[in-house]
Amino acid sequence: MSDTLFIILSVLTVATALLVVLNKNAVNAAMFLLLSLVGLAGLFVLLDAPLLAFVLILVYAGAVVALFLFIIMLLDTTPGRFPAFKPMTIAASVLGAALLALGILSLSERAVLPLPPKAVAVPTMKNYAEQLFTTYLLPVQVVGFMLLIAMLGVIVLSKKYTPEETK
């Protein structure tokens, strides 16, 4: 039963994550992001980490997706209004691809996850906090920074361009 549930939640998470990227309607993409986060929370529950699942639903699905929806609806992003590629857009895309390649390369060289401490039998909030602020501090900060960049990207992309600005 656990394997079947894992497969169902994995397929749900990956499929909705792909729909987030491929969807042209920003509101629908945000809703698929919500479904992807729910699938991820289900995977956390299967890993016997209900606190992380609850925090994921509360913080990301509750606050961040609501903030994204607020920004999307406030700025009225309709498809087809974006200007043609400019040199700055191409340079930013190349830089982003280079950073992604460097990140994947650095992960492939050190692809060993830290082992949990053997003395801990029952997960407590203190253990979660200790791991969060020591071992996993950098990934948490990177995710927060990426969310900030995504919010700024929504604001920049939804700016209304007039013919005078495109010169």
Name the residue ranges covered by the structural domains of the chain.
Answer: 2-85+119-157
pTM: 0.52
Q: What amino acid is encoded at 66 in this protein?
A: A
The predicted pLDDT at position 162 comes to 67
CB 139 within 8 A of CB 106: no
The predicted pLDDT at position 90 comes to 81
Q: Which CATH architecture has domain 2-85+119-157?
A: Up-down Bundle (1.20)
pLDDT of 89-125, one tens digit each? 788 888 888 888 887 777 666 655 556 566 545 677 7
Average pLDDT (120-147) is 80
